[in-house]
Every structure is written in structure tokens, then in C-alpha cells.
Amino acid sequence: MRSQKTLQGIALSTAGVAAVLLLASCGLGQPQSQTSTTPAAPGTGSGSPSQSAPPPTTAAPPSSAAPATTPPAGPGLCKAAGLSAATDASGGGAAGSVYMKLNLTNTGSEPCILKGFPGVSLAADAAGGPIGAAATRDESVPVTDVLLAPGQTGWAQLRYTQAGNYMDCSPVDAAGYRIYPPEDTESLFLAQPTTACSNADIKLLTIGAFQTA
């Protein structure tokens, strides 16, 4: 009888254990509900919405500078090629000297300027070199611009001292005057026979600055 009860107890115990194991296996077999959290995308959040960047501004092209305006050039200096020469002896004479106007006339088609002193000497002929000393400058008249329109004339006072006034003159015949306009290397020849001194120490000629006629 005791052994039968013992067996029944063991059987009940075994059944209880089996029931517990069954319940445990059922609990493990059913998946638990889980709440998954999706991470926020980079750069997003609960803050204020992002503002779009303003479009890039386009720089205005630099305005092209207006070309510099070059003022028209003024009249140039008169040159020998555009002049004619003459003398006017109405100035008279004194103490063995003759005063005359040396006239240069603009024969060109454009205005030009005479400024300063011409170079003047006596010459043997139209192609010959100077005889004796060139004219010295008389600076009693100030230098000024003498504007010559085509056909106009400027003049400078020329004094010729008689060669016979000088014992050591060594006189020679001159065919006329060699005339260089101011700042010009070309010359004009004015035919006017006279007497020159071959002695270069004798100063027969004196010239002033050009003036308006």
C-alpha cells in the first residue's frame, strides 16, 4: 500500500514538472512585441525647417571705359620748305649800318609758328656755305609765338654793318643771305648781293626775334 502511494506521488510530481516545462516552452515560443525606433536622418530634427541658400549673385560686367580723347595738335613750327623770304629796307640806316626787315611768309596750306631767332649769314651762292660770322642776336625784343596762317608774314629786324667800316675785314663778294628758320636745320637762300668779311672775327650782322607783321 505504501509503495503504491509512493508511486502515485512520483507520478504526480513528474506530471507537475512536465506541466511547468510545457508552460515555459510556450512562453519562450511566442515572440515578444518590441517597439523599434528608426533613427532620424542626418540633418533633420524637430527644429525649424532649414532655409534654402540665396542664389549666387552675378557680378555686373565692368563697364568699358570710353577711349581717351586726344586733343587736336596745335600748329607746328614753320619750316623752310613752307616759307619764302624777302627783305624790306625801309628801316633806314645809321652810322654805317642798314636796318631792314627780314620777312618770312607762310607758303604752306596749314598755319605754323615762328618763335625766336632765325639763323642768318652771308653766303657765296645758293648752294654755298656761310662767309664770315653768322648774325649775333639782339635780345631787346622778347621771344613770342608768331602764328602765321597761310599767306601771312612774320618779320625780324636784321642789321647789316658796312664791311668797309673794318680795316681787317678781308672783303669778299656775297650773293645773298642764308636763312635758317628757328629750330630748323633746313635753310632758305635770299639772293641779295652785298659785301662780306671773310674774317670771322668781324660781326657784320645782327638779328632780332620774330614779330607779327
CATH number, domain at 95? 2.60.40
Q: Report CA 168 to chain centroid distance, whole Å.
A: 57
What is this structure's pTM?
A: 0.66
For residue 183, the tally of other CB atoms under 10 A from its CB is: 13
Q: Is residue 39 part of a domain?
A: no
Q: Pick from 107, 105, 99, 165: which is nearest to 135 by CA?
A: 99
Residue ranges making up the domain that contains 111: 80-212
pLDDT at 15: 47
Share of the chain above pLDDT 70, in %: 67
Residue 124 and residue 171: Cα distance in Å, rounded?
12
pLDDT of residue 5: 47
Whether 64 is covered by a domain: the verdict is no
The answer to whether residue 133 is domain-embedded is yes
Number of domains the chain is built from: 1
Read off the pLDDT of residues 139-177 as tens digits, 9 standing for 90 and up: 999 999 999 999 999 999 999 999 999 999 999 999 999
The helix/strand/coil state of 113 is strand
- Among 33-37, 106-110, 161-165, the least confident range: 33-37
Per-residue pLDDT tens digits for 180-189 = 999 999 999 9
Q: How far apart are CA 23 and CA 20, in angstroms?
A: 5
What does the pLDDT read at residue 191?
97
Give the burial class of 102: count Cβ atoms within 10 A of its Cβ; 0-12 exposed, 13-18 middle, 19 or more buried. Answer: buried
